[in-house]
Every structure is written in structure tokens, then in C-alpha cells.
């Protein structure tokens, strides 16, 4: 189901971005056409004004004296003799008035030679290019006329639409980033699935020989020759204890792999906090005679939680308090309530955590770098597992350093 949803989201995203890109290209094309029409209108009006001034108001035009021969080529009929200097003056004046700010070239028809006589290249940079050859075809039916050509009209129109082209380029970049992001997500998903499958296979392969070791070592510990020899008892107890510890690590890895793939299967039930935590604390006191656990929890407080996973949360917190303590471990467990919910605090006297490392302690495989890491075995999965269980219960967890020594872990259970 998740893969189908991801594919649907990817497909819809592609369709949306490609649709927007196509619409943007169509709008840009339409904007270019409108700008072209606007330019032609301004040129026509400006040239009509020039023709009117050159005729001196003596000639009345029965039809438009301006003819558009090509997209960038115009012919203006004057019906009267005119001087090139006067023409140039009027062209400058009218084009400036109508804000036609691009290069243009004009030429006049010479009836004596029956040819178009090149006038002048009018550049906005005031520099006449020497490498451009401008073609001015002759008009058959006119006598007193001039022609004008805009050699850089397309460049001028494109430059006036810079915003549209920048926007289109931005959309193309967004599309490329989207494609790259989707590719990265798919690759990460494949890597995550491969990693999860590897962990599942690895842990299952470990559990079979480990079960055999536990059975054999427990049977060995019951033999008379072992019970009569204190050294053999010590060795077998080490084997059994370390086997159980390894089994605990394997179960933890399996739970995390299962949580990554389909989530933990929770069976919430009402748990009275005081006797529940007291029982776990007694187990720790039996294993660690030097450990002190003070519990200050009201007897009637309860939470809705999965018993197995809630036990693992408290076990992990207390176990870390022992592992990362350089003296006799002391843990104070207390609770209080406010209008939002119930708070459960675990305050220890351990080594503490550097402030810069606190945001990372719930990450998978992360271990705070300190000298204890060489002595303490682990994979950096304990607090990651705790965080996942807390999130699935819709609780919250936070960690802060104490003012004197150690850290305080806070569990929040909203009402």
C-alpha cells in the first residue's frame, strides 16, 4: 500500500510540474506575440507621424502610407521630395517619443538611379557596425518613399520578456530538482529495504546457534561436577549471562527492523505506575547491589501502555544509568501532573552528555563519544528503540543535563 501511494504521489507530482511548465511555455509564447504586435503598432504610428511631418501637411493620405513588408521591414510612402537629414531627425524624434529603443537602418529610393540608397545605421550605442549587410528591396509602385529595417528586432523583443524566460528557466530547474529528489528517495528506499532484510536475516541466523549455546550452558550448570567447582560455576554463569545479553541485543535489533517495516504491534492496557516500576527496580537492585533507586510516585497514577514495550523503555533508561556512571549509580524516579498530562522523570548521577550531542542520542546506531564506549558494549539502538516506542504511543521524551551531575530523562503522557 505504501509503495502504491508513493508511486501515485510521484506520478501526480510529475504531471503537475510538466503541466505547469507547458502552461508557462504557452504563456511565454503568447507574451512574445503580444509584445511583437505592440512593437509593430508603435512603429506604424511613429512612421505615420514621420510621413505626416515630411509631407508638411500638404498631402492627405487616402490609405495608410506605412506598409509592413516583412516582420522587421517597413516601407513608408511620402508622395513628396524630402531630405535625408530631415528624415533622420524625424525618425530620432518619433522613435524616442514612442520608446522604440532598438537599432534600426533606413534607406531612400533614388529615382534617378532607380536604386535604394543606404542611409544610416542608427544604433542606440551610437556605433555603426561595419560587418552587417542590410538588404533593402525596391518597391515597384512607389516613387518618393523610404524604407526602414530593424535588424535586432527579435533580440529586442526577447530582452523585453526577460521575466518570462527567467520564470520558465526556474520552472525547468524545479522540475530537474524534483526528478533528482524522487530518484534519491527511491534509492534510499531500496537501500533501507536492503538494510532491513540484511538485519532480519543476520539476527535470525544468530538466534539459532545462540539458543543452542544457552541450552547447553544451562544443562552444563546443573551438572554436579560444575556445581562442586566454583571456577566452573563462574565460567558457566559468564557464558549464560553473556548469552542472554547477546540475545537481548538481537531481540532489540529485530524489534527495530520490524518497527521500520510495519510498525510495532501495540496492545495498550492500564498500568499502575508505582508497583510496575518498583518491580523493575527490584530486579536491577538484585543484579547491582551498589545501585540506589529512589521512587517518588503517587500510588494511584496509571498510564495506558503496551506492557512489554513500556518495560523495555524503563529497562533501557535504568540500564544506561548504570553503564554510564563512574561511581555507585543513584537514580531518582519521580512524577508530577499539570493540566496537559503526566510527567515521569528519571534523574541519575552519571557522566552526563555534551549539549551538542543531545539532539543526536535518539538516532539509529548513534553513540555519544566518550571513554566509557570502550568498556560498554552496544549498537547505539537502545534510545532509538525507546524513541520509536514513545512516538507510537503518542508520548513525548526529552533529555537534559543536570546542574550538578548526570542527566534527567522526562517522559510525558498527555491526557
pLDDT band at 183 (very low <50, low <70, confident <90, very high): confident
Contacts of residue 311, defined as CB under 8 A and 6 or more positions apart, other chains included, come to: 280
Q: Which three cell numbers stand for residue 278?
A: 518498583
| Residue 127 C-alpha from the chain's centroid | 50
pTM score of the predicted model: 0.48
Q: Is the pLDDT of residue 194 over 70?
A: yes
Per-chain mean pLDDT for the chain: 80
CB atoms closer than 10 angstroms to residue 266: 15
* In contact, 320 and 383? CB cutoff 8 Å: yes
End-to-end alpha-carbon separation of the chain, Å? Answer: 32
CA proximity to 213, closest of 180, 250, 188:
250
Q: Which three cell numbers stand for residue 339?
A: 493540566
CA distances from 164 to 109, 203, 394 (A): 40, 58, 48
Average confidence (pLDDT) over 201-220: 77
Half-sphere exposure of 69 (CA within 13 A, CB side): 17
Contacts of residue 13, defined as CB under 8 A and 6 or more positions apart, other chains included, come to: 178, 182
Q: What is the pLDDT of residues 83-104, one digit of tens each?
A: 888 888 888 888 888 888 888 8
Proportion of the chain above pLDDT 70, given as a percent: 86
Tracing cell 510498525 back to the chain, one arrives at 263
CB atoms closer than 10 angstroms to residue 104: 22
For the chain, what percentages of helix, strand and coil (3-state, to nearest 5) are there? Answer: 55, 20, 30
User: What pLDDT, on a 0 to 100 scale, did the predictor assign at position 1?
Assistant: 46
Contacts of residue 19, defined as CB under 8 A and 6 or more positions apart, other chains included, come to: none
Q: What is the pLDDT of residues 389-409, one digit of tens each?
A: 898 889 999 999 988 888 999
Contacts of residue 102, defined as CB under 8 A and 6 or more positions apart, other chains included, come to: 124, 150, 152, 153, 155, 156
Q: Enter the DSSP assignment of 299.
A: T
User: What pLDDT, on a 0 to 100 scale, did the predictor assign at position 96?
Assistant: 85
Residues in the chain: 415
User: pLDDT: is 263 or 152 the higher one?
Assistant: 152
* In contact, 302 and 264? CB cutoff 8 Å: no
Q: What is the pLDDT of residues 121-143, one digit of tens each?
A: 877 665 555 556 667 777 777 77
Q: What is the 3-state secondary structure (H, E, C) of 153-189?
A: HHHHHHHHCHHHHHHHHHHHHHHHHHHHHHHHHHHHH
Amino acid at each position: 500500500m505504501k509503495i502504491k501511494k508513493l508511486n501515485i504521489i510521484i506520478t501526480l507530482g510529475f504531471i503537475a510540474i510538466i503541466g505547469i511548465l507547458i502552461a508557462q511555455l504557452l504563456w511565454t509564447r503568447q507574451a512574445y506575440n503580444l509584445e511583437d504586435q505592440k512593437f509593430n503598432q508603435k512603429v506604424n504610428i511613429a512612421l505615420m507621424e514621420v510621413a505626416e511631418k515630411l509631407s508638411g501637411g500638404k498631402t492627405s493620405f487616402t490609405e495608410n502610407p506605412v506598409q509592413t513588408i516583412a516582420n522587421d521591414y517597413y516601407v513608408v510612402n511620402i508622395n513628396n521630395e524630402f531630405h535625408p537629414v530631415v528624415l533622420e531627425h524625424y525618425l530620432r524624434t518619433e522613435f524616442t517619443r514612442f520608446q522604440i529603443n532598438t537599432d534600426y537602418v533606413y534607406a531612400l529610393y533614388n529615382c534617378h538611379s532607380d536604386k535604394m540608397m543606404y542611409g544610416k545605421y542608427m544604433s542606440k550605442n551610437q556605433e555603426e557596425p561595419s560587418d552587417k549587410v542590410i538588404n533593402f528591396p525596391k518597391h515597384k509602385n512607389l516613387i518618393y518613399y523610404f524604407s526602414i529595417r530593424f535588424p535586432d528586432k527579435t533580440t529586442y523583443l526577447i530582452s523585453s520578456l526577460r521575466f518570462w524566460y527567467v520564470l520558465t528557466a526556474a520552472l525547468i530547474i524545479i522540475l530537474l530538482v524534483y526528478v533528482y529528489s524522487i530518484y534519491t528517495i527511491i534509492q534510499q528506499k531500496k537501500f533501507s529495504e536492503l538494510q532491513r532484510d540484511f538485519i532480519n536475516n543476520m539476527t535470525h541466523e544468530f538466534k539459532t546457534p545462540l539458543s543452542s549455546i544457552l541450552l547447553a550452558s544451562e544443562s552444563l550448570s546443573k551438572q554436579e561436577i560444575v556445581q562442586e567447582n566454583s571456577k566452573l560455576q563462574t565460567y558457566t554463569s559468564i557464558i549464560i549471562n553473556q548469552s542472554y545479553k547477546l540475545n537481548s541485543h538481537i531481540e532489540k535489533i529485530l524489534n527495530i527492523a520490524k518497527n521500520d517495516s510495519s510498525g510495532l504491534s501495540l496492545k495498550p492496557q492500564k498500568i499502575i505506575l508505582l508497583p510496575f516500576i518498583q518491580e523493575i527496580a527490584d530486579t536491577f537492585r538484585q543484579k547491582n547491589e551498589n545501585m540506589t533507586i529512589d521512587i517518588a510516585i503517587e500510588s494511584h497514577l496509571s498510564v495506558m501502555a503496551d506492557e512489554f514495550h513500556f518495560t523495555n523503555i524503563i529497562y533501557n533508561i535504568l540500564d544506561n544509568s548504570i553503564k554510564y556512571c563512574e561511581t555507585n549509580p543513584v537514580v531518582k524516579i519521580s512524577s508530577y501532573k499539570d493540566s496537559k498530562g503526566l510527567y515521569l522523570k528519571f534523574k541519575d548521577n552519571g557522566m552526563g552528555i555534551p549539549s551538542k550531542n543531545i539532539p543526536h542520542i535518539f538516532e539509529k546506531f548513534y553513540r555519544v563519544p566518550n571513554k566509557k564506549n570502550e568498556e560498554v558494549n552496544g549498537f547505539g539502538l537502545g534510545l532509538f528503540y525507546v524513541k520509536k516506542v514513545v512516538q507510537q504511543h503518542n508520548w513525548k521524551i526529552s533529555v537534559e543535563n543536570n546542574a550538578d551531575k548526570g542527566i534527567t530523562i522526562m517522559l510525558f503522557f498527555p491526557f
